[in-house]
Amino acid sequence: ITTVEGLASAEGELHPVQQAFVDHDAFQCGYCTPGQIMSAIGCINEGHAGSEDDIREYMSGNLCRCAAYPNIVAAIVQARDETRRA
């Protein structure tokens, strides 16, 4: 089982989704961040990140009390694009 704590490399480099969340300020209070990040990875890996609407639909079960949804979607788009280039 991989948890959010196990995503960074041994050298401390953040996973592309973690870095994208930082880059886009996709978290505020941090309460939902682990679930959002793990779901975002699933969204990308399972091929559900084709469009912003697809991302919103896939991520709709993850609630954010701070309403950072636009930033979360932007972070997923960035991570999706970075992982496609890799």
| pLDDT tens column, 28-85 | 899 999 999 999 999 999 999 999 999 999 999 999 999 999 999 999 999 999 998 8
The pLDDT of residue 52 is 98
8 part of a folded domain:
no
The pLDDT of residue 55 is 98
- Write the DSSP symbol of residue 6: G
The predicted model scores a pTM of: 0.94
Dihedral sign (CA 45, 51, 56, 57): negative
Please give the residue range of the domain that contains residue 71.
14-85
44 part of a folded domain:
yes
33 part of a folded domain:
yes
4 part of a folded domain:
no
31 part of a folded domain:
yes
Contacts of residue 36, Cβ cutoff 8 Å, sequence gap at least 6: 21, 26, 27, 59, 62, 64, 72
CATH of residue 56: 1.10.150.120
Overall domain count for the chain: 1
